[in-house]
Amino acid sequence: MVAQTAKYSADKVKSPFSRQQRNQLLAWSKRAKEENLLPPFERKILYEGGRYNYIFVSRLHRLSKTLEMLVGHIGDEADLAWEIKNAGYCCYLEAQSEAGDPEAQYSLADALYYGFFDLDQNEERALYWMAKASELKNPEAECELAMWYCSGLCGLEEDEQKALKILEGAIERGSARAQDLLGRWYQTGLSVEEDLEKAYDLFSKASSSGFNEGTFHLAQCYEGGEGTETDPGKAFEIMKRLAESGYARGMMQLGQYYVDGIGTDENLTEALNWWHKAAELNDALAIYTIGHYLFGLGVEEDDKQAFTYFKQASELGLLRADYCLGLMHILGRGCEEDDEEAFSYFLASAWGLDESDYHLGLCYYFGRGCDRDYFQAYECFDRSKEIDSDALFYLGECARDGTGRKRSYEDAFEFYIQAANTENANAQMAIGRAFCVGEGVQEDDIEAVRWLELAVAQENSYAEFILGDFYFKGIGVSVNEAKGITLLRKAAGSGEKGALLLLHEFGYDLEEELGAELSDEGENVVGIHLDPASRAKALYSKTVEKLLDSDQEKNIGANVIELAIIGAERIEALMSSNEGEN
């Protein structure tokens, strides 16, 4: 919050509170006295806020702090307390800004730009007050205005020279924040030509002035050898001093140094120790990271504890925590299964995280926690296709079925090929299916079998079902009922109802099959050919060659169908029970 100063006193202003809010302040003042919730002066602040039509501006500032103290004691009325606090604080900022306080002007501009304290976002007013504060040489305002000019934000046209001039002026007046910001520009080549030595020099100066961000970036220079010699030990030493000073971001990064063994021995226990210290300072990323490790990454799993940490990080606004909470609600880990809750968390984080977009698309596609909406699903998959090959697969399914867009087998096959470039098992199955029935490509049972074999090698249950049927009927292969039974049993064991029906039709009962362990996802393979069939065949050949090379290293037989323990990612657990619908 902005501190009140005598130099910028705005004296009294008309009360910003409604009659209902003023009555509530009086009631809280009385309750605070009866229950001894607040010191006498704080109770007086509440009383004055409710009693008088005109209030000293300094009292508005104090009232905000008093209400923060009160919130923990008033339970269901906490939301109303925050509402009144925000109204009073915004009135304070307005009055102080009009009185010429550059710190208040900067805070008001920031609040108007982002919509803080229940204010409506207003870029025109935000720019007005930010420019005012910058004219009065407020260093935070100068840096923010420079960023707006650099990126063309808040209604400004991009003007890198203007941005640079503002920063250089702030640096001449000794602004450590401006030194750090310009250092990052030189580090990344933003608005200036990349110059790592200049970046290092600016970070050093900012650090010498006691600016924590400058010290943080200086340590990273030593870590990566940017503008100076690589020195992990020096990086660790600087980051440790920064962490010990109480800087939460430094604590978080020091923990990562212990995990990665940068300048010190690897030590997960020490890493968690520093993350817990940062978490005590309400650092959202540290809280999330602890939850992430409790979710089964390097320490003993504790789903309930992980859920608690993710919840805390979510309440602090970390979108990735919302994403993890969505997954936990879908899977019933650390909480009850709840599709509607999962959907709400994916929806909250979707516009900031492509991973959430993908899972939100699955919710819309299958109607989990929401009404089924193929158009929304298609948009979500399209936004997340760059980071998740299964999103490409589902784009193909939408094109194939004409759901959420116009039907096109050719487009569907193209999506499947793109996804198969990352050895996506769903896409391999879909290409095999396309060759089988001639969707978007000429019918070819031999090619169909080849692609289905690749998907089976990754334990894709729908591919097991189709290929099992092929072995019974002799489609693209010689009839081999033994292999057919084996594949159908595996598919049925994974929940493929069609496979179970076929087994019953052929006179067999389902037996439990143990799934094989899967290896990590393989590297990308790409074939460039003009027609879809040629591209698919070339991609198939490269994929098989890679599997066979891996197979030879392990001294196992080279039958692709038998390579179940080699492969990439198992089909998404989230929707595996619905795969048979496709």
Q: Give the CATH number of the domain where residue 376 resides.
A: 1.25.40.10
CA–CA separation, 67 vs 81, rounded Å?
6
- Of 353, 387, 421, which residue sits at a domain end? 387
* Residues paired with residue 54 on neighbouring β-strands, in sequence order: 14
- Per DSSP, 162 falls in state H
Q: Where are the alpha helices (DSSP H) in 506-531?
A: none
- Range with lowest mean pLDDT among 167-176, 283-292, 538-547: 538-547
Residue 75: the pLDDT is 85
**88-128 pLDDT, tens digit each:** 999 999 999 999 999 999 999 999 999 999 999 999 999 99
Decide if pLDDT at 192 tops 80.
yes
CA–CA separation, 453 vs 433, rounded Å?
12
Q: Give 36-81 as a DSSP string.
A: T-S-HHHHHHHHHHHH-SEEEHHHHHHHHHHHHHHGGGSGGGHHHH
Decide if pLDDT at 413 tops 50.
yes
Token readout for 505 is 């039709």
3-class DSSP state of 131:
helix
Q: Do 399 and 346 sit in the same domain of this protein?
A: no
3-class DSSP state of 469:
helix
**432-481 pLDDT, tens digit each:** 999 999 999 999 999 999 999 999 999 999 999 999 999 999 999 999 99
The residue to which tokens 């063309």 are assigned? 152
Residue 546: the pLDDT is 60
User: For the chain, how many structural domains are there in total?
Assistant: 2
Residue 504: the pLDDT is 84
Residue 507 belongs to domain spanning: 388-581
Q: Do 409 and 527 sit in the same domain of this protein?
A: yes
Report yes or no on 468 lying in a domain.
yes
Q: Do 357 and 449 sit in the same domain of this protein?
A: no
Establish how many alpha carbons lie within 13 A of residue 485's alpha carbon, considering only the half-sphere containing its beta carbon.
11
Kindly state the average pLDDT of the residues 168-192: 96
Q: Give 494-510 as a DSSP string.
A: TT-HHHHHHHHHTT---
Q: Do 321 and 416 sit in the same domain of this protein?
A: no
Report yes or no on 191 lying in a domain.
no
Residue 72: the pLDDT is 85
Q: Do 432 and 293 sit in the same domain of this protein?
A: no
Helices (H) and strands (E) in the chain, counts: 28, 2
Q: Do 399 and 529 sit in the same domain of this protein?
A: yes
Report yes or no on 407 lying in a domain.
yes
- Per DSSP, 518 falls in state -
Kindly state the average pLDDT of the residues 334-341: 96
Q: Express the helix, strand and coil content of the chain in percent, nearest 5 each.
A: 70, 0, 30
Report yes or no on 175 lying in a domain.
no
Q: Do 432 and 562 sit in the same domain of this protein?
A: yes
**22-71 pLDDT, tens digit each:** 999 999 999 999 999 999 999 999 999 999 999 999 999 999 999 999 98
Residue 530: the pLDDT is 46
Decide if pLDDT at 213 tops 50.
yes
Token readout for 421 is 């470039």
Q: Do 358 and 420 sit in the same domain of this protein?
A: no
Report yes or no on 212 lying in a domain.
no
Q: Do 467 and 510 sit in the same domain of this protein?
A: yes
Residue 178: the pLDDT is 97
Q: Do 301 and 423 sit in the same domain of this protein?
A: no
